[in-house]
Amino acid sequence: MRVKKSCFSFIDLFSGIGGFKIALENNGGESLGFSEINKDAIASYCENFTESHMNNFGDITKIKDLPPHDLLTAGVPCQSWSIAGRNLGFDDDRGQLWNDTVYLLQQSKPKAFIFENVKGLVDPRNKNNLLYILDRIKEAGYYANYHIINSQDHGVPQSRVRVYIIGFRDKEYFNKFHIPLTSNEKINLADILGIETPNIPPLKENLQQDLFAEPIPVKSMSLSSKNGLNDYFLFNDLRNGNTTIHSWDIIKTSKRQKDICYLLLKNRRKSAYGRLDGNPLSLDHFQSIDSTISIEELNQLVQLKILKTEEYLFTLNNSYKAELSEIEQKLFEYINKNQFVIDDLKVNRELKRNTMPILKTIESLKKKGVIKCTEIRYEFKNTKISTGLFGVNRIFLPSSDIFPTLVASNSNDYITLETLTPTNIDDYKKKFIEEVYKTGKYRKITKSEACLIQGFPKSFALPESRARWMKLIGNSVSVPVIEALCKAILDTGVFKQEETHQKNPQQTAISGTPFAAKVAPLTSAADFGVMF
Residues catalogued as catalytic: 78
What's CA 278's distance to the chain center, in Å?
Answer: 20
Q: What are phi and psi of 91, to 5 degrees?
A: -75, -10
Quote the CA–CA distance of 282 and 311 in Å, as a whole number.
Answer: 10
Distances (CA, A) of 118 to 84, 156, 532: 10, 18, 22
Q: Which H or E run includes 261?
A: helix 255-267
DSSP string for 465-505: SHHHHHHHHHTSPPHHHHHHHHHHHHHTTGGG--GGG-SPP
Q: What's the one-letter identity of residue 269?
A: R
Residue 247 sits at φ, ψ, to 5 deg, of -60, -30
Run of H or E including 75: strand 71-75
Amino acid at 104: L
Contacts of 424 (CB under 8 A, 6+ apart): 203, 204, 205
SS3 assignment for 143-157: EEEEEEEEHHHHCCC
Q: Would you say 209 and 425 are in contact if contact means Cβ atoms under 8 Å apart? A: yes
Contact (CB, 8 A) for 177 and 190:
no
Q: With contact defined as beta carbons under 8 Å apart, do 483 and 489 qualify?
A: no
Rg over CA atoms, the chain = 27
129 near 81, Cβ under 8 Å?
yes
Other CB atoms within 10 Å distance of the CB of residue 18: 27
| β-sheet bridge partners, residue 336 | 339
Helix (H) or strand (E) holding 267: helix 255-267
Distances (CA, A) of 529 to 141, 469, 514: 17, 35, 24
Adjacent-strand bridge partners of 507: 516
How many whole angstroms separate alpha carbon 226 and alpha carbon 223?
Answer: 11
Contact 60, 97 (CB under 8 A): yes
Backbone torsions φ then ψ of 56, nearest 5 degrees: -90, 120
Contacts of 301 by beta carbon, 8 Å cutoff, 6+ apart:
257, 260, 261, 307, 378
Tell which residue, 310, 314, 326, 330, has the closest CA to residue 367: 314
Q: How many residues are present in the chain?
A: 532
